[in-house]
A and B are shown apart, each in its own frame.
Chain A
Amino acid sequence: MNPGQENRGNPGQENMGNPGQESRGAAIDLRAISKAYGSFKALDGVSLRIEAGEFMTLLGPSGSGKTTTLNVVAGFTEASSGALEVGGRSVVGVPAHKRNIGVVFQHYALFPHMTVSRNVAYPLALRGVAGAERERRVRQALDMVKMADFGHRFPSELSGGQQQRVALARAIVFDPPLLLMDEPLGALDKKLREWLQLEIKRIHRELGTTFVYVTHDQEEALVLSDRIAVFNRGRIEQIGTGRELYDEPATLFVGKFIGDSTVLRGAAAISGGETAIEIAGQKVATPRRLANGGRPVMLLRPEKLALVRRGASGDGRNRLTGRIGEAIYLGSGSKYEVDLADGSKAIVRSTLEADSFAIGDEVEVLFAGADVKLLADDDKADLSLT
């Protein structure tokens, strides 16, 4: 045994022939994983540690490397370089069928020639679990996803949501210490998706298994995860809780990808402890400085902005003139898109008590310098997706 890989009580590898064992989650360690297809780098030095029992979401636009990362962990793709440990053991070179990792696919991947019960029993049969024990565990897994009454049906007789729940049961029935989910709700409609998100959260709580969840939907990531790793162009931009990513984005990409935001760009001037940016002749300032240099841009969350009619008295905060471009009533308040003088847009959320505005109204956007996130500009950060 490699002394560097002490057994941390992970049942993962031994679990194959010993399925009755209670399994807790396994920790995962990715170190400098790279994957190149010819000259294209799908993954460029991804390092990520996921704690045992954690719900980690890999979030990013399509092609950002999150699914490749998942495939590397599952063993469907082998990394070009880097180290990968699951439960304290290196799994580099271990084929997928020996990794004992549960995977839920976006396309369900239920075997069409087997009933629901036989689909769920399949991994147990491979592990030599037979008879009453197998039946008990199939029933238990189907109970957990609330599909116990559908055992005799074929996958083609189920709806998409039902099929995905069966796929989930099949992936957890053999007690894997790690469950990977690749956009499992991507093919479902919004209502169903929101309900299944809560179901997945519940199952995670009940199992205590490590979950790694891939999605491009930031709301889904915020609902589900303990922590989120934001992927962009084969790299991880930031790892943190949803709150950390929203409040303290490390990069402009993260700031724009998570939540609504207003980005102010312009000629910057730094004097003393203050950074000022000039937008169409109007100067706004913040008492912050960019730590690592680079061209500073300001990022503002919608609830930090206030709207007043043009010419109304201000209170010494930063102000920018603009015109209401879009007004959306949200029930709990309103959301406005304000066209600023330099052609960029500000997104403002206001409460019910505040004044309401109509499209075309001349307004001023107010904000405190302390609420500004000052980030280095990154031309690559332009998001083409909404």
Chain B
Amino acid sequence: MEMKPLTRAVLGLVCLLVAIWLVAPTLVVVPMSFNENKSLAFPPQGFSWQWYQNFVTNPDWSNSFLNSLKVASIVAVLATVLGTLAAFGLDRMKARPANLLRMLILTPMVVPGVVLAIGIYAVYLDTRLVGTLLGFVLAHTILALPFVLIAVSANLEVFDRRLETAAASLGANALTTFRTVTLPLIAPGVLSGLLFAFATSFDEIVVSLFITNPYLKTLPVQIFASITRDADPTVAAVGTILLFATTILIGGGMLLLGRERKGRQ
């Protein structure tokens, strides 16, 4: 559709502002992380690496980071396995039960976080799961499942099931067919499900705030505590690290995906 130059300019300007609004605020953590003073007041003073050092050496920070890494890794694997199996089951069911079960598995996405959190907290108090690795893993897995289901289902929808018939005619049994034909073709969905699950767990805060205790804290809980308690620029350092790690992961992933797609065509 051809646009008049004026329309085009206005549209471009509006979008530029939206893009700035999306990206720029987060960048403010970068200068704050090099602050010399123990303060989050703007503008930062001087230059220092001390908050990065603090992140590595202070056990409050380093332990919570390692905890998050541990929980998120387990959750990523568990949610991907359960979610992929479920996506397969739903794909091969009749439409009516499949839709019903799909809605059930997607509910964690829409249940308000705090409501879920007090519910899980109540049950965990009874079952002594508060502040345990198992407790975190179970709660985060449920929250990550919908993302895996959506990613894998999207791939299964475009997967040509006649290829499975072809594999059978060539002598492959059900398991071999899955391993050599189906899985490689839905791998992008499984992989992005894995990533989503990891990110969901690594970032989860609301339920974590309720089921945490001084012995087991995850990184978001530590960040939240730090923001509400004091103006420690270590949070800015952590934010900066997360920002760059995410950008490299996403940017790299998108470039890789684009290149592969180009190669296939």
* A, B assembled together: yes
A residues in contact (CB < 8 Å) with B: 16, 74-76, 95-98, 100-103, 105, 107, 109, 111-113, 122-123, 126-127, 154, 156, 170-171, 174
B85 interfacial by beta-carbon distance below 8 Å: no
A124 to chain B, nearest CB (A): 9
B176 touches A102 (CB 8 A): no
Q: Are A109 and B185 in contact (CB under 8 A)?
A: no
- Cβ-neighbour of B170 out of A95, A113, A122 (below 8 A): A122
Check if B184 sits within 8 Å of A174, measured CB to CB.
no
Partner of B169, one of A96, A127, A156: A96
Q: Are the CB atoms of B171 and A95 closer together than 8 Å?
A: no
B70-101 CB contacts (< 8 Å) to partner A: none
- Within the assembled complex, what's the spacing in Å between the Cα atoms of A98 and B168? 8
- Shortest B197–chain A CB gap in Å is 24
Interface size class of B (residues with CB under 8 A): 20 to 34
Interface of B is mostly: helix
The reply to whether the CB of B265 lies closer than 8 angstroms to some CB of chain A is yes
* Contact across chains for B171 and A113 when beta carbons are under 8 A apart: no
Q: With an 8 A cutoff between CB atoms, is B242 at the interface?
A: no
The answer to whether B176 touches A126, judged by C-beta atoms less than 8 angstroms apart, is yes
CA A298 – CA B264 in complex, angstroms? Answer: 59
Whether the Cβ atoms of B171 and A126 lie closer than 8 Å is yes
Q: List 10 A-B contacts (CB under 8 A).
A: A16-B171, A74-B169, A97-B173, A98-B171, A107-B160, A109-B163, A113-B184, A123-B170, A126-B170, A127-B171
Q: Roughly how many angstroms separate A112 CA and B173 CA in the complex, as a whole number? A: 19
Q: How far is the CB of B13 from chain A (nearest CB, A)?
A: 41
Q: Which of B8-35 contact A (CB under 8 A)?
A: none
Q: Which residues of A contact B171 (CB under 8 A)?
A: 16, 97-98, 100, 123, 126-127, 174
Alpha-carbon separation in the docked complex, A123 to B265 (Å): 26
A331 to chain B, nearest CB (A): 41
Q: What's the least CB distance linking A276 to chain B, in Å?
A: 54
Do A109 and B172 form a contact, CB below 8 Å, given A122-B180, A154-B264?
no
Across-interface contacts of B163 in A (CB, < 8 A): 109, 111
**Complex interface: chain B residues within 8 A of A112 (CB):** 185
Q: Does B66 contact A (CB under 8 A)?
A: no
Contact, CB under 8 Å: A109 / B166:
yes
Q: Closest CB-CB distance, A94 to chain B, in whole Å?
A: 12
- A333 to B237: give the CA distance in the assembly, Å: 89
**Which of B141-176 touch A at CB < 8 Å?**
160, 162-163, 165-173, 176
